[in-house]
Amino acid sequence: MFDIQRTDPKAYEWITNILPKSWADAYFPEARYNHLTSNIAESFNAWILSAREKPIITMYEELRVQLMTKFEEKMKLGNSWSTMLVPKAQELLDLRKMKTRFLHTVISAMDTQFEIHYLGKKYAVDLTRWTCSCRK
């Protein structure tokens, strides 16, 4: 504050009329938006470390190759899955199916239409229209 007062007395006067808790984002009690945490910045910087100090065209080319390599890895991983869902989601779905398999009965009306008997209630499910009489 002494440095501010010495450099610009008007700025010192102006800032002393503002509560110190409003001087920096760190003291705002409300949510802050458009801020990156240092974790994500550090992760990104580590990922592009080999390209950071190169000329712009070389840097872009190296980042492009890194991205393409990452996309290929993810595509190979996705192609190795036996279901349409990612393994974690499939595991969760299978677990929920196991929990409820004794609570309901499924009767097929046609290839894409079913009647579900669940806890004494009946629901009509149409997979082509993505509808259920439960309205969920």
In this prediction, what percent of the chain has a pLDDT beyond 90? Answer: 24
**Distance (Å, rounded) from C-alpha 97 to C-alpha 81?**
19
Domain boundaries, the chain: 2-79, 87-132
pLDDT for residue 97 is more than 90: no
Segment 95-122 shows an average pLDDT of: 82
pLDDT digits (tens, 9 = 90+) for 31-51: 555 555 667 777 888 888 888
pLDDT for residue 73 is more than 70: yes
User: 97 or 128: which carries more pLDDT confidence?
Assistant: 128
Q: Is 0.75 surpassed by the pTM of this model?
A: no
Check residue 61 and give its pLDDT: 93
Check residue 64 and give its pLDDT: 93
Check residue 28 and give its pLDDT: 59
